[in-house]
Amino acid sequence: MKFKTMKGKMLTYFLSLFLIICIAISFMAYFMSKRMIERKASSLMSEVSRQAVQNIEARLNGTLDSIETVANMPTIKDPKLGWDKKKTILDEEIKLHGHIKMGIVSKEGQSIQTDGTTVNIKDRPYFKKAMEGKSTISEPIVSKVDGKVVIIYTVPIKNGN
């Protein structure tokens, strides 16, 4: 369409200019909004991750506290009492808290576990820390017994020194 009048030419010019400005503003708004949404999403993901870490730490520490309570029971601490009495307490703890298994380890590193297996763990760092009197939570590790990824809690059982 050709406009021969000045009014028509001016109208075409201003409409074209208006359309170009609207498109430019739309692109700017899109990219600015995209950037703000990405920043907000990143911020929210960081916050959710931080809260997840806090929840996991609280759960791990709660489990460790529970195991420390068991380790301080007179029946568990008494070296004169047999494995059967100690196993009964450990089995109750497994049912109560959903552990896979529990065990008691000698000073030499020989572990007897509630499922009947025995394993020598003297080479494991968490055993060495328990022998130093420190409670520990291992990093997730692959079990030498069944190949599953597990977290091991170790708590020293102290009877006197």
pLDDT at 146: 76
Give SS3 for 6. Answer: helix
- Minimum mean pLDDT range among 3-12, 47-56, 97-106, 119-128: 3-12
Q: What are phi and psi of 105, to 5 degrees?
A: -115, 135
Dist CA 83 CA 127 (whole Å): 20
pLDDT at 6: 84
Q: Say whether pLDDT at 27 is over 90.
A: yes
Q: Say whether pLDDT at 3 is over 80.
A: no
On whether the pTM is more than 0.75, the answer is no
pLDDT at 161: 63
Dist CA 31 CA 94 (whole Å): 55
Domain ranges within the chain, ordered by starting residue = 1-161
Dist CA 10 CA 109 (whole Å): 94
Placement of tokens 């380890």 in the chain:
105
For residue range 129-159, list pLDDT tens digits in order. 999 999 999 999 887 767 889 999 999 998 7
Question: DSSP label at 43?
Answer: H
Is-contact 83 105, C-beta < 8 A? Answer: no
- Minimum mean pLDDT range among 9-13, 26-30, 115-119, 143-147: 143-147
Residue among 107, 101, 114 nearest 143 (CA) = 101
- Could you name the CATH architecture of 1-161? 2-Layer Sandwich (3.30)
pLDDT at 143: 79
Q: Say whether pLDDT at 1 is over 80.
A: no
65: confidence class by pLDDT, cuts 50, 70, 90: very high
pLDDT at 87: 94
Q: Say whether pLDDT at 63 is over 90.
A: yes
Question: If you average pLDDT over every residue of the chain, what do you get?
Answer: 91
Amino acid occupying residue 6:
M
What is the DSSP pairing of strand 103-105 with strand 149-150?
Answer: unpaired
